[in-house]
Amino acid sequence: MPAGLIALGAFIVVIIVWNVVFKRNMGEAMLFGLLTTAAFAGTGAPEALLGGLRDALNEEVLYAALAFVFMAYVVDRTGLIHKLLAILNSLIGRVRGGPALVDTAGSAVMGALSGSNSGNTAATGAFTGPWMVRTGWSPERSATVMAGNGGLGAALPPSASMVIMIGFAGSMVTTGQIYLALLCAGLYQLVWRFLLVAYFVRRDGIQRAPDEDLQPLRRALRDGGTALIIVLGALVPILVTVGPLANLLTNSTPLGESIEDISILTWIPLLVTALALIVGRRTLPRGARNWATWITDAMPRFASIGALLYFAVASSEVLSGLGLAADIDALLTDFQLNKYVMAVLVGVLVAVVAGPLSSTATLTAVGQVSLLALVSVGVDPVLAVTAILVFASTEGASPPASGSIFVAAGLTGAKPEKTFLPLVTYYMVPITLIGCLIAWGVLPVLS
């Protein structure tokens, strides 16, 4: 009996029912999913459960994810994201469809910093949504663009989704490989979204924004140019660990192979957070009581993502002990599917599950089995992980339960149901196709 595969199915059902039907938070759902999974070990359930919980504590991804959560909190509370948006506005706000272009570019920046789809839509759309409606975009079209762009929270590195998949892949990939590959995949998505904006502008006859709504670039840079410094927090760890500079440091300096020990997952959130605290120091609280309130406000974010990832990683350990990998191999051997059909099946599976769940919850539920399925039919592990992350990034555009849709509708006054078909047509299907092309090796990515 394929105990691992059956346990995986039960795990998925439990978290969907608990989260979608009973409307409980995902941390609770993951806990019950873990308990359900461990129960399949029979009399060894207590040992399997404790083993999974213990092994999860040794995973770097758990602590890295919490660091990214705090990084996003600091960047938001110091107001740096709004300064970055103002600069984007000054650069491209004067062209037709400027507000949508700013929303697209801003979503890419915010997505890379926060990794949250709904949070991405809310932070960027609070500024661009009303602006789009004011410049001739219909509420439904505005909401469609905003919700569709929300997926960039999971499409660009770093993100909690990326952290989860790196944990599942283990020694098959390195963090640097996935970071670069996902960056390339995110750029493909970004180009597609810019093309969509151009199409909508022409189809709907959108005109440029009034001059009074725009800030001169010189003023935007003067007021918020220092916010660009935080980008170095993401660039420096990448440059010193991947590419020509990394090779030079490894081969021609005393640092040598110690460069390979630098963890991107650890240093990006640390450096970005440190730079954000320095650049935004004037917005920081004064006095012990204000600092306590400031830190306390961040706690709910830690509780949510911390519980989700801890129980998710523990569940993965339990599933591995139940023989999930062997079950998948046996099942796929019977079907004898090629990588082209398998990529489509995995893409549809992930996109469908991402409808009621977030991208992180989706990958927690089906990320490991999807990775094993693609690798088993000959897909390179780096391409497999990247493609799965692309599939999961459809979350923002997945009706009817995506939080991004309702956030966007609330900001623009649109009826959410009127965005469902356009989101599927213009975002879900094309993005899933991009993921398939990456898995097939048609769209190249760096790694």
What is the tens place of the pLDDT at every residue in 262-309? 776 677 778 888 999 999 998 899 888 999 999 888 887 677 667 777
The pLDDT score that the predictor gives to residue 79 is 84
Q: Is 446 within a domain? A: no
Q: Are 354 and 362 in contact (CB under 8 A)?
A: yes
The pLDDT score that the predictor gives to residue 226 is 87
- Band the pLDDT of 155: cuts 50, 70, 90: confident
Cα distance between the two ends of the chain? 38
Q: Is 407 within a domain? A: yes
Q: What is the span of the domain harbouring residue 222?
A: 3-440
The pLDDT score that the predictor gives to residue 325 is 64
- 269 alpha-carbon distance from chain centroid: 15
The pLDDT score that the predictor gives to residue 242 is 63
Q: Is 445 within a domain? A: no
Most confident of 108-122, 305-319, 352-366: 305-319
Q: Is 193 within a domain? A: yes
For residue range 42-95, what is the model confidence (pLDDT) as tens digits? 999 999 999 989 988 887 667 776 776 787 788 878 888 778 777 777 777 678
- Band the pLDDT of 36: cuts 50, 70, 90: very high
The pLDDT score that the predictor gives to residue 140 is 92
Q: Is 216 within a domain? A: yes
Q: Is 240 within a domain? A: yes
Q: What is the distance between the alpha carbons of residues 185 and 435, in angstroms, rounded to a whole number?
A: 8
96-100, 210-214, 413-417 — which is least confidently predicted?
210-214
Reduced to 3 states (helix: H, G, I; strand: E, B; else coil), residue 86 is helix
Residue 425, pLDDT above cutoff 90: yes
Q: What is the distance between the alpha carbons of residues 148 and 430, in angstroms, rounded to a whole number?
A: 11
Q: Is 168 within a domain? A: yes
The pLDDT score that the predictor gives to residue 116 is 59
The pLDDT score that the predictor gives to residue 408 is 82
The pLDDT score that the predictor gives to residue 357 is 62
89-93, 145-149, 386-390, 408-412 — which is least confidently predicted?
89-93
Reduced to 3 states (helix: H, G, I; strand: E, B; else coil), residue 130 is helix
Residue 358, pLDDT above cutoff 70: no
Mean pLDDT over the full length of the chain: 81
248-252, 276-280, 418-422, 441-445 — which is least confidently predicted?
248-252
Residue 384, pLDDT above cutoff 70: yes
The pLDDT score that the predictor gives to residue 1 is 55
Task: Give me the number of domains the chain comprises.
Answer: 1
Q: What is the mean pLDDT of residues 401-413?
A: 75
Q: How far is CA 302 from CA 84, 120, 271, 296, 393, in A?
A: 25, 18, 19, 10, 22
Q: Are 130 and 411 in contact (CB under 8 A)?
A: yes
**Amino acid letter, 293:** T
In 3D space, the residue among 436, 434, 423 whose CA is nearest the CA of residue 384 turns out to be 436
- Whole-number percent of the chain with pLDDT over 70: 86
Q: Are 157 and 112 in contact (CB under 8 A)?
A: yes
The pLDDT score that the predictor gives to residue 265 is 64
The pLDDT score that the predictor gives to residue 9 is 82
Q: Is 447 within a domain? A: no
The pLDDT score that the predictor gives to residue 58 is 81
More confident residue, 122 or 185: 185
DSSP state letters, 234-303: HHHHHHHHSSHHHHHHHHHSTTGGGGGG--HHHHHHHHHHHHHHHHTGGGS--SHHHHHHHHHTTHHHHH
- Whole-number percent of the chain with pLDDT over 90: 22
49: which 2 tokens? 């459960």
Provide the whole-model pTM. Answer: 0.69
